[in-house]
Structure 1
Amino acid sequence: MHRHSRKTGALRRKSLIGLVSLAVVSAVTFAQPASATDLPVWDDYSYAAQTAVIEALDKKFEAAHPDVTIKRTQRTFEDLGLTLRLAVSAGDGPVVTKVNQGAKDMGAMAQKKLLLPLDEFSKKYDWPARQSESLLARDRWSKDGQFGEGPIYGISGLAEIVGLYYNEQVLKDAGVELPLKTFDDFLAALDKVKEAGQPPIAMGTAKNHLALHLLAGISQAHIDAKSRKQIDDLIYGRGGSWKTDGNLESAKLMQHWAEDGYFYNGFQGISGDDAVQLFIAGQGAFLVSGTWYFGDMQANPNIHFMAIPAPKGVNHPLSVGGVDLAWAITSQAKNDKMKDLAGSYIDYMVSPEAAVEWAKAGYLPSTALPKDADLDVSPLLSEGLEMWKSLNANDAIGHYPDWSTPTMLKTIDDNMPLLLAGQQTPAAFVDKLDADYSSYLASK
């Protein structure tokens, strides 16, 4: 793991900005609407730091389009999943929205023609020059329901990595030596922290999905990028089985940690977001989740970010992640003028200018930062940028398991509490995931 000082200056800024490797910077352009109009937009930016960025971007877009008013509606991830499809189906939803890329949301809405293909805008604004095809493929759905192929239905503004947050001071107090080089080092560190009287892993399962992030994170850290075809096939619905040694061993570890005091006391009654705040306050040594918490995590300078260490023999481990929920245009865009306005808005949200605003707030943009951007990149963000560069260079960006079927997230949410409470064996837990997947394949 690389260390980063707190020094600022042009040289440091120039070197860090060069870390993002996926895009060629192009000038921001706007398609001008013909008449005054409202643009209804739904997004999932519910954290304070995220809200500040999106509101600033909306104001800049409106300033460039004086006859346009953004009608923003803020939704949580869960609310979007529950309400978006129903609202658009009823003709009362947004024109532009964030949408989860998996089969449950983007896949189902694309099949029902509730989302519009964005290939014309991808070509017009040259999105492939900003983001790699491996990322854009996560927004593709074919006419026959094949994930990863066919038209593009969205594009994302933020990169996401699910990795290992750690509190350097807590680890130092427990006698843990950094950096952690292997998965065995990580396991040994957990034991030392527990012996020192601190909760090793920040966890809350009453809401959000920290347990899913931990399960997927440790499982995919055991997969070398050169052997990623199996997980790719699972996520893209090409076939396979969830009954792997990696998934089974990860479930066993999760159950062990839950039963033997490696999580917060009473973690079942703590939400994921509240667990993050406890971690920021100095309670716990590790937390596995995504870069979307960078803005909050910067409040504690002892917190750093790294990939989950791999076992020996795995040279380029996968890290769960990719991009945040995609910007998409719904069937509410009834005419070409509204479609063009919506396309222009989405293009601005994935522009280099927007990337700068996200980076200023401590978040990891999916579009490259302009070479001349005057940024004081935080130590935490610099760690994320370097990880993003490495993961892309080694084709080591993994997947969210719930993208694999329309019901996988519910299956995991229904069975994870049973696993962690010792009411379900790890083998039975993995069987539930596999049964869900087999049922989905049979229905296609």
Structure 2
Amino acid sequence: MLKARRWAGLPAAALAASLLLTGCGGSDDSATGDGKTLRLWHYEGPDSAMAIAWNEAIKEFKASHPGVEVKFEEKGFEQIQKTAPMVLNSSEAPDLLEYNKGNATAGLLSKQGLLTDLSPEVTKRGWDKALSPSVRTTSQYDAQGVMGSGKWYGVPNYAEYTMAFYNKDLFKQHGVKVPTTVAELTTALETFKSKGITPLANAGAEYVAHQLVYQLALSKADRDWVDRYELYKGKTDFHDAAWTYGAETFADWVKKGYIAKTSSSAKAEDAGTAFISGKNPILFSGSWWFGRFQADAKFNWDTFLWPESKLTLGSGGNLWVVPKGAKNKQLAYDFIDITMKKANQNLLGNKGGVPVAADAAAITDPKSKGLITNFNTLSQNDGLAFYPDWPVPGFYDVLVSETQKLITGSAKPDEYLDALQKAYDAGVPKQ
């Protein structure tokens, strides 16, 4: 994220009155609560696998903590993304919240001293043993807020990755083959366009569009390229072959009508509902949509990994984080623990999520089995390439605004890449 999420297909909610802060200056580590209230925030849609599993976790938490009230508030992804630093540095901080992972988000908050170091609890409760190395990367941050090492500032209880969702009925109706090569994908896009159908659902005002640009670049990249970009292991050149291919191909697809120019102002929810309604036969996005499509799509659909690419966007899921000033931290740790247990993990998997510690034999839904199998393949082959907005603070907004220009044609690919280079270089930590 959703990434920049990105992440449950939810639109950015307007700032709620409860977030209008009357003062800052946050609580310190000695802050204590009454031990009778757990304040919990997350931004997953009610039909998502995560929300279903976490609602069940709330029930189990209440049963195991008699007399404790859970005050759950659903927030918009954009709402938390934009207000977290201010909220977490105030008396309004919840005890536990879902937060986006990566250097520019959880890493930045950890560097600012706004998150609790969870390392002792991670070891004590064995959460580290449940997470594979590739999933663990986004849980740990060093003193500079760079992911991959250091203290544990978050724990994901699910994973995520991107794929192409496709409408099997429309593919069959128009004689389109499920693509396994780039050439076949191009043929599929052209076939739909020739039938008067815009093939790709898109959202320029949020993460969907720039994640597609990143996937196109990833199809020409390798792990060293990802490490240079995401982990600062070398210099990133936005005019290299991979980034150039991504920007030029995306702009070409807009020009050819595979992507609608009007999608420059669309949000992720718009792209998702366009796919659900059958308007667009393909949506490139993340596993966070899976449960939503299972619940709402009235046609046959399935997924495929991006053709001829060893890499795709993905990582451990968004993190459970505990604000430094949380008043009931032990309750927060207990809730995280419930979401890591087999029963909750199995439920998450059967509802279309990608669990990190499920019993494989307990996943009975065929589509969910395929989702998890594809993730395991990517994870084992080191194919998770994180998200494009992660490297530097504020880069999400840059990617959105500049990709919108690419859609409308107000910026050429070279100008687009120049703008990304400038913003990225300004944000990379000085070594």
1:364 to 347, 354, 365: 354
Which residue of structure 1 aligns with residue 8 of structure 2? none
Q: Distance in 1 between matches of 2:267 and 2:397?
A: 17
User: Which residue of structure 2 lines up, in the alignment, with residue 386 of structure 1?
Assistant: 373
Farther off after superposition, 345-354 or 394-403: 345-354
Matched, 1:234 2:229: yes
Paired residues of 2:135 and 2:159 also in contact (CA < 8 A)? no
TM-score of the two chains, using structure 2 as the length reference = 0.86
Spell out, residue by residue over 1:73-131, the C-alpha distance to the aligned partner (whole angstroms, 9 max, x if none): 11111011112221111221111111111233212211121101111111112122211
Q: Is the 8 A contact 2:215 2:246 kept in 1?
A: no
Q: How does 1:211-230 map to 2 (within 5 A)?
A: 211-223=209-221, 227-230=222-225
Q: Is the 8 A contact 2:208 2:268 kept in 1?
A: yes
1:405/1:297 CA distance change after superposition, 3 Å: same
> What is the aligned partner in structure 2 of residue 14 from structure 1?
none
Q: 1:377–1:174: structure 2 CA closer, same or farther, 3 Å change rule?
A: same
After TM superposition, list the pairs within 5 Å mapping 1:373-412 onto structure 2. Answer: 373=362, 375-379=363-367, 381-412=368-399
Partner of 2:251: 255
| Partner-residue secondary structure (3-state), 2:320 | strand
Aligned residues: 396
TM alignment of 1:403-442, pairs within 5 A: 403-441=390-428
Contact 1:139–1:152 (Cα < 8 Å) also in 2: yes
Matching of residues 48-67 of structure 1 within 5 Å: 48-49=47-48, 50-67=50-67
1:353 aligns with 2:348: no
| Distance in structure 1 (CA, Å) of the matches to 2:227 and 2:305 | 20
Q: CA deviation at 1:369?
A: 2.8
Contact kept, 8 Å, 2:37 with 2:70, in 1: the verdict is yes
Name 1:276's counterpart in structure 2.
Answer: 272
Q: Residue 147 of structure 1 contacts residue 237 of structure 1 at CA under 8 Å; is this kept in 2?
A: no
Residue 265 of structure 1, CA deviation = 6.6
Alignment of 1:163-182 (within 5 A): 163-178=163-178, 180-182=179-181
Shift of 1:170: 1.4
**2:147 matched to which residue of 1?**
147
Opposite residue 199 of structure 2, the aligned amino acid is: P
Question: Percent same amino acid at aligned positions?
Answer: 24
2:311–2:385 Cα contact (<8 Å) kept? yes
1:34 is displaced (CA, Å) by: 11
Distance of 1:141 and 1:121 partners within structure 2: 16
Moved over 3 A (4+): 33-36, 47-53
Structure 2 contact 111–143 (Cα < 8 Å) conserved: yes
Structure 2 gaps, min length 5? 1-31
List per-residue Cα deviations over 1:354-390 (Å, max 9, x = no partner).
212212322222222364x3x53142x2221111111
User: In angstroms, what is the RMSD of aligned CA positions?
Assistant: 2.1
1:229 positional shift: 1.8
- The 2-side partners of 1:363 and 1:205 are apart by 25
CA contact (8 A) 1:352 1:368 kept: yes
Q: SS at the partner of 2:81? A: helix
Q: Which amino acid is the alignment partner of residue 306 of structure 1?
A: F
In 1, the alpha carbon distance for the partners of 2:400 and 2:280 equals: 24
TM-score by length of 1: 0.84
Is the 8 Å Cα contact of residues 217 and 288 (structure 1) preserved in structure 2?
Answer: no
C-alpha spacing 1:57/1:228, structure 2 compared with 1 (3 Å): same
Q: Is the 8 A contact 2:40 2:97 kept in 1?
A: yes
Q: Which amino acid aligns with 1:412?
A: L
Cα deviation, 1:233-285, whole Å, max 9, x if unaligned, reads 32123342142211111111211222332124732343221221121222222
Distance 1:409 1:149 in 2: 23
